[in-house]
Amino acid sequence: MTSRYQVRFVKAIHNFCYRRFNCTIQRNYSKEDVSKSNIKHLVENSASFAEKDPETDKWHTPVYPKNQRLQSNKSFRPQVDPSTTSVILFPGQGSQYVGMAKSLLEYPQVKEMFDCASEILKYDLLDLCINGPEDMLNMTVHSQVAVMVASLAAVEKLRAETETDINNCVATAGFSVGEYSALVFAGAVEFERAVRLLKIRGEAMQAASDLEPTGMMTVFLQPWAKIKQACMEAQRWCEEQTIFNAECKVAIYLFPDCKVISGHLEALKYLESNAAKYGIKKFKYLPVSGAFHTKAMKPAKKVLEKALNATPFEIPLIPVHANVDGFPYISVEQIRKKLADQLCNPVRWEQIMHALFERKQGTSFPSVYECGPGTSMKSILRFNNNLAYQKCSNILA
Residues annotated as catalytic (active site), given as ranges: 176, 293
How far is the CA of 194 from the CAs of 111, 159, 317, in angstroms?
A: 17, 21, 17
Tell me how far apart the alpha carbons of residues 89 and 326 are, in angstroms, rounded to a whole number: 13
H or E segment to which residue 169 belongs: strand 169-174
Report the DSSP pairing between strands 19-25 and 214-221: unpaired
How far is the CA of 99 from the CAs of 96, 125, 181, in angstroms?
A: 9, 12, 20
Classify residue 263 by its DSSP letter. Answer: E
Give 294's Cβ-side CA count (13 Å radius).
24
Give 44's Cβ-side CA count (13 Å radius).
8
**What's the distance, CA 135 to chain centroid?**
21
Are 318 and 169 spatial neighbours (Cβ–Cβ below 8 Å)? Answer: yes
Tell me how far apart the alpha carbons of residues 148 and 164 are, in angstroms, rounded to a whole number: 23
Tally the residues of the chain.
397
Are 218 and 260 spatial neighbours (Cβ–Cβ below 8 Å)? Answer: yes
Q: Which residues pair with 174 in a beta bridge?
A: 90
* N-term to C-term CA, the chain: 32
